[in-house]
Amino acid sequence: MRACAEIDLAAIAHNIASIRAKTKAQILAVVKADAYGHGLIPVAQTAVKSGAQWLGVALLEEAIALRQAGVNVPIISWLTTTGDDFEAALRNQIDLSISSLEIFDLVLAEARRIGIKPRLHFEVDTGMSRGGFLQQWPALINSAIIAAAEFTLVGLWSHFARADEPDEPMNQTQIEEFEHFRSDLERAGIKAQFFHQANSAAAMTNPQSHRDIIRIGIAMYGLSPALDTMGDSQSLGLIPAMTLKSRLVLVKKVPAGNSVGYGATAIVDRDTTLGVVALGYADGIPRNTSSAAKVSVDGQLAPIIGRVSMDQFVVDLGPDSIAKTGDWVVIFGKGGASVDTWATAAGTINYEIVTRIGPRVPRIYLPKN
């Protein structure tokens, strides 16, 4: 095996328990994008066993895969679009998020055709200007009144734009805007069973936002929503779940002055030992990662040198290294650098680092304690 991502399911269970202890709201575990790269089915099963009452995905096919794996808790699919297999969604009792009149009409038409009452969540735009009803909202209410007997309104929901900045006034503004949408429903005599707005950041910093359900994504995987405004994983009481490992496919001595990698962008400044790591941008290692990213070789940190290639990258092991071909190295995670360090070195966020680890890297699941 040239590489693997070890997924600590006990860490995921710990992170869910840590957040559950601080809220009265139900827990929705966000497992979209292959559970942020950690593996859809094993993570979803662990989340449910650890007390999550709901699961959330972006795409309908993710929700169907969960049903096919025997997961029976409520599942919300929120990136509902034209062309989706609404029949499969309805037959599998998958909750659909609705953020346009067009989708509302399509789902109801399919529901009438097959005789199954859909479970819907209306998404409203409280300031992010991404998904959710805004100018179409009054028209939706009118349509919902007319079709009230044809669907179950399970939820009303929205999403924060800046919850990872706990002191940002916009968070309170979005809470107030959500209340306006909620009041509109009440005046129209339309009842939603649940209200949800909080993501990981809001769940950990803003109890007012918790409502009936909190949606936890990045925190469930043990990573901070925002390093600069909320602190790191340890300060938040979270345990990172992913450890990425690979092997050195080659270790060799090179003299000072040698260039390294495509474009000869790096020059070794002394006689040293280089190691070739068997991962590249095809596996999710960012091509633009700088030398600030380091791997751990037998407990010693070695920086990247030169450009990341499609299948491999080079690290400077130092002149005195005793590493040898075939040795395992830790890219990030337990025993190595943090995901946050790698994100900083690549000019991105921790979400992207774990989510982009590709399918060529097998996931190995550590048993839950």
Task: Give me the active site residues, please.
Answer: 32, 262
Neighbouring-strand partners of residue 214: 27, 198
Any alpha helices (H) in the chain, and if so which ranges? 9-20, 32-36, 40-49, 60-68, 86-91, 101-114, 137-146, 170-187, 200-205, 227-230, 339-346, 350-355
Torsion sign across C-alpha atoms 194, 199, 200, 202: negative
Please, how many CA atoms are within 13 Å of residue 253, restricted to the half-sphere of its CB? 6
DSSP structure class, residue 367: P
- List Cβ<8 Å contacts ≥24 apart for 224-231: 224/340, 224/350, 225/163, 225/164, 225/199, 225/200, 225/201, 226/164, 226/165, 226/201, 227/340, 227/344, 227/350, 229/164, 229/165, 229/166, 229/167, 230/164, 230/166, 230/201, 230/204, 230/205
Distance CA 288, CA 345 (A): 8
Distance of alpha carbon 101 from alpha carbon 133, whole angstroms: 9
